[in-house]
Structure 1
Amino acid sequence: MKHLLLSAALAASLILPAYGAEPAPIPSPGEIAAAAPASDWVAIAPSDLLVMDLAPDAKGKPRHVVIQLMSAPFSQGWIGNIRKLAAAHWWDGTSVNRVQDNYVAQWGDATEKKALPTGLTAVSESRYVASDPASGQAAVDGKPAIRLSKDEANRRAKQFEQAGKGDIFGGASMADAYAPGVMFESGWPIGYSSAQVPDSRWPLHCYGAVGVGRNLSPDTGSGAELYAVIGHAPRHLDRNIAVVGRVISGIEHLSSLPRGTGALGFYEDAAERVAITSIRVATELPAADQPRFEYLSTESDSFARYADARANRRDPFFITPAGGADICNIPVPVRPVAAK
């Protein structure tokens, strides 16, 4: 009898763990980003941050918007103009004068009479796209494009190949309706012209992207009139308007504004406009007031896991993983950094 009881106990010990063990929780994309080691995060230079202060809201609360300017080689002619406009304090006293639902919030001189500072550059439409001489592309506007090192060219070629296979997104489909291929480059969502040769590339109009307002072609805008995307990604604007950055903090101060009732969402009454107190490059502010941010390196293993989790949601809320993702639905994680 004792032998039978021991045998039964042993059998139970083999069976019970199968019922009692809890499966390991599957992390959400946000949890994956939060757990990324410090080495996977890249500091954003204060010189690449544009700080916009709007007039306080109806309750007297301050409204700060922080914009990260696009990195080279993209849109640098317009960004050079933006730096000059900020240095001249040109936007002080202008306004957010257009808010179109599910589209953009736009700011600048509503009167169109304010004189621009001297020394702004007229930028060619060809600069909507960046090209590399390593790919056989000619210089644009007589200016040489950024020449890649051999290691960087090889890295990009590998990433282009991986993007085509979905490897950097956990095998998820990354078919794109607006570009032959898409990928991330130095923290930015980018479209490109060929899955075989990393030649022509351009930044994408995802949520929060900041672009340059313009008139009809061949005008490309000076950078004095800017907008932020506050709705579904208007990717049809890619390669038609310059993308110069993205809002990384304070988008709610633009996306929650009342919609304009005029054509294209422009405010019909000047009293509806939201005054801009100042726009400065962060390095012009006192050191204690300079915002500090960092982004999750898009070349890191943590980002690969994050992107896979965005495309294949497996955390408890989801029933059926999508098995793919629009690149604009994989926002690059950005977080503030406490001052040291």
Structure 2
Amino acid sequence: MKHLLLTAVAAASLVLPALAQEPAPIPSPGEIVASAPASDWIAIAPSDLLVMDLAPDAKGKPRRVVIQLMPAPFSQGWIGNIRKLAAAHWWDGTSVNRVQDNYVAQWGDATEKKALPRGLATVAESEYQTVGDGSIKTVWTSNGKQPARTMMVVVPTPKTPPSKKVADPYASSYAFVAGMPLAVLSKVERGQAKTSAEGERLPIWDYAVIDKAWPVHCYGMVGVGRNLSPDTGSGAELYTVIGHAPRHLDRNIAVVGRVIGGIEHLSSLPRGTGALGFYEDPAERVAIASIRLATELPAAQQPRFEYLSTESETFARYADARQNRRDPFFILPAGGADICNIPVPVRPVVAK
């Protein structure tokens, strides 16, 4: 018995070092986001939030949808109209009147007879895409993450080029501004050699020279309904994507924001049986109680959200993890990702 005990102890001593050398589990994208420091999160201004309250559901539970509006310089003609429509309480009493499976949920005046507020702008089709103005600091290309050179800004050369890979069949690269996904037409240009403030010579680095950029139709993005060209829509008729990203709509319809809270109240609605998913029976429509800019609500009722900075190291790790899943469930890393497969994390801010 004593001999057996000594043998077992010796065997254990051989096993323990091997266990100690096992690598730490590779974190999932969600775990990377959960570990982000508070400094990596950016608050969304209440003035950029549109709050839609639908009629309560069949059990009397409230249904609130929160939309973050697109930042400048993108889609600003339509954004200005949307702010005027919200201030006029124009959407009150209208409805969600179209829900098409794997496509969109759409709301507005189903009768198309409600008078619009005065002073709405007519926006040109050229505004579907925008020339870079310095708001884009970084683009992601097939060659990795690149500093962006726009018409007005040159980002300093980084010391260590990262190795993130992307692929986008609809554009040459993509970017993020205020947490919003953008497609970018750009070309890679050789940068000039630079010297740091400490006198260190930095490596020559390629820049992505931006020609055009535009918001894209990912899940949860909000667009402006319109009739045939040259009509571009006023912003009174809106929809959100509730299915596979219809990227073929990019630069054909204005994208004005994204749903950051309550998407389930739209994506779970019964599908319309009429053409394009419109409800044939008016009784099927879901009434809209109100749509307001958050700043019009009492301070205690204003929703608060923040998004993960896309310029942070945490986001770079998160994006890499979304492109190359290495956590235990996955067998083969994909080696790339569509922009819509790298949704920018958003979280509500809990009042203290």
What is the CA–CA distance in structure 1 between the aligned matches of 2:163 and 2:340, rounded to whole Å?
A: 17
- Map of 1:172-191 to 2, 5 A cutoff? 172-191=164-183
Task: Select the residue among 137, 141, 144 that pairs with 1:166.
Answer: 144
Q: Give the match for residue 139 of structure 1.
A: none
Task: Select the residue among 192, 196, 214 that pairs with 2:184.
Answer: 192
Q: Which shifted more, 72-81 or 193-202?
A: 193-202
- Aligned-residue offset at 1:273: 0.2
CA contact 2:94–2:107 (8 Å) conserved in 1: yes
What is the CA–CA distance in structure 2 between the aligned matches of 1:323 and 1:19, rounded to whole Å?
A: 30
- Map of 1:5-154 to 2, 5 A cutoff? 16-132=16-132, 146=133, 148=134
Q: Give the match for residue 282 of structure 1.
A: 294
Q: Give the match for residue 226 of structure 2.
A: 214
| TM score, norm. by length of structure 2 | 0.84
Bigger share in helix: 1
Task: Select the residue among 209, 226, 248 that pairs with 1:236.
Answer: 248
What secondary structure, in the 3-state scheme, does the structure 1 residue paired with 2:186 have?
A: coil
Q: Give the match for residue 291 of structure 1.
A: 303
CA contact 2:145–2:165 (8 Å) conserved in 1: no
- Aligned-residue offset at 1:195: 2.7
What secondary structure, in the 3-state scheme, does the structure 2 residue paired with 1:299 have?
A: coil
What is the CA–CA distance in structure 1 between the aligned matches of 2:102 and 2:257, rounded to whole Å?
A: 19
* Structure 1 unaligned blocks of 5 or more: 1-8, 133-145
Count of aligned residue pairs for this structure pair:
312
Question: Alignment RMSD, CA only?
Answer: 2.2
What secondary structure, in the 3-state scheme, does the structure 1 residue paired with 2:181 have?
A: strand
CA contact 2:223–2:238 (8 Å) conserved in 1: yes
- Aligned-residue offset at 1:324: 1.1
Q: Structure 2 counterpart of 1:166, which letter?
A: G
Q: Give the match for residue 336 of structure 1.
A: 348
What is the CA–CA distance in structure 2 between the aligned matches of 1:207 and 1:11, rounded to whole Å?
A: 54
CA contact 1:164–1:195 (8 Å) conserved in 2: no
* CA distances 1:223-262 after superposition (whole Å, capped 9, x unpaired): 0000000000000000000000000000000000000000
Q: Give the match for residue 254 of structure 1.
A: 266
What is the CA–CA distance in structure 1 between the aligned matches of 2:293 and 2:243, rounded to whole Å?
A: 26
What secondary structure, in the 3-state scheme, does the structure 2 residue paired with 1:84 have?
A: helix
